């Protein structure tokens, strides 16, 4: 075996001294146990509060969605009922129009209501002049320059 060098002996004899680390901080930085317990209680209270608050908000949202859903279902039900009533109304109107018979109406009017047809002496004829009293043609009066030009173009094509 070869002799070891002097440096090798030096490393073996040298001890590294590590400083001792206390697991507890110095007494000046330590908090009293009562303060620690108070702080822990506050943390627990905060967590309970925020948990309750979150639950209440979620419950409110779910209740609103339930109310909206109920309103939508009610709207759908009412629309369906309206459609059915409109169809029934149309059917009843059609049946009324089909059952309308002029001879029955005349019979009811004469027998029940006592109405009768007018006699010849009750009828008066009126002569209406054949001349048209209303002039539908527009005139060129009261028109501006552009309106007169457009009126003349329209009149030309008529």
Let me know if residue 42 belongs to a domain: yes
Tens-digit pLDDT string for the chain (158 aa): 555 555 555 555 555 555 566 555 555 556 677 778 888 999 999 999 999 999 999 999 999 999 999 999 999 999 999 999 999 999 999 988 888 888 888 888 999 999 888 888 888 888 877 766 565 555 555 667 788 888 888 888 87
Would residue 70 count as lying in a domain? yes
CB contact at 8 A, 154 and 140: no
153 lies in some domain: no
Assigned domain for 103 exists = no
148 in any annotated domain: no
CA distance 127 to 26: 128
Range of the domain at 87: 33-97
81 backbone dihedrals φ, ψ, rounded to 5°? -65, -40
- Give domain status of residue 69, yes or no: yes
Cβ atoms of residues 116 and 122 within 8 Å? no
Instruction: Tally the domains of the chain.
Output: 1
54 within some domain: yes
Indicate whether 143 belongs to any domain.
no
């Amino acid at each position: 075996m070869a002799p070891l060098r002097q440096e090798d002996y030096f490393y073996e004899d040298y001890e590294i001294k590590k400083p001792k680390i206390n697991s507890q901080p110095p007494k000046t930085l330590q908090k009293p146990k009562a303060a620690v317990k108070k702080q822990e209680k506050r943390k627990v209270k905060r967590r309970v509060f925020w948990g309750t608050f979150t639950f209440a908000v979620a419950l409110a949202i779910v209740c609103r969605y339930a109310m909206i859903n109920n309103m939508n279902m009610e709207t759908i039900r009412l629309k369906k009922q309206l459609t059915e009533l409109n169809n029934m109304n149309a059917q009843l109107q059609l049946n009324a129009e089909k059952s309308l018979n002029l001879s029955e109406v005349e019979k009811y009017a004469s027998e029940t209501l006592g109405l009768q047809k007018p006699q010849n002496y009750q009828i008066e004829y009126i002569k209406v002049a054949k001349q048209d009293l209303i002039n539908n043609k527009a005139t060129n009066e009261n028109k501006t320059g552009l309106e007169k030009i457009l009126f003349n173009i329209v009149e030309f094509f008529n």
